[in-house]
Structure 1
Amino acid sequence: MRERTTQRTDSTHVLAAVRDLTRLELVTEAVRAALEEVAGTSPHLLDELVDEEWGHRYGRPVRLGKNPTEPTTRILATGSDAVRLLEHLHRHRAGRAPGPRARALRQIMVQNYHRDHAGRLRRPTAEKDG
């Protein structure tokens, strides 16, 4: 480098690193991370819960872009899977604290879903929930 010259940098990699996750990507990645955590510490806990379809949905990182197919259906299905996973872990890990990824998944679920009067899993919408 010479003194008193103009330096230029390429910020493309910085912009790519801070890309926002959509709500669907966030929940899907949180489920995937919790599954990986459990598989690493207690893989037998997943035997009766995880099937081939779960492997297809959560087996690799998800990047959906701006227009995912059937986003409402997918976010509710992913939320239902997350609830099943958290309930399963709660039942089978009595007395043991969940790992950090399972705790993060629980917090994400609290922030992004609620139960309606009939007990069905719902996600807040701007029109109804402000």
Structure 2
Amino acid sequence: GGPGNDVILGNFIGSTGSSGGCPWQSCEHDADFISGRAGEDGLLGNKKNDRIKGGSGKDTLLGGPGADSMSGGGNNDALSGSSGSDRNDGGRGRDSCRSPGAGTSGARRCEFNASRRPSALLERLSTMAGWTP
């Protein structure tokens, strides 16, 4: 879906179950929960409050710029990204663990050796618990 609040995938506003607009699983605008481009997407998307993957906005797992929680490009990424307040790996910003090359500015707290780096799940759990390995 595109921008807006879609629950799964679709084309129109009103996908969150409100009367009118379109069926619950086939809308494109307003906070998508599974996939989409813009808006508050739940899993895949490009911008704004995406939960899993996206390009920009407040992505929770994978995304570009924005407040990403796992990986992304910029702004407040929690695990990996290229800029912003990255928590584990990223290029620049306030990285907590490692930066993979160019643009390594920021307050990095530790470095992971590629051969002994913890699993993504361990990184995710430790980050959620507030512990930086």
The structure whose Rg is larger is 1
**Which has more helix, going by share of residues?**
1
TM-score by length of 2: 0.25
With a CA cutoff of 8 Å and minimum separation of 6, indicate the structure with the bigger relative contact order: 1
TM-score by length of 1: 0.26
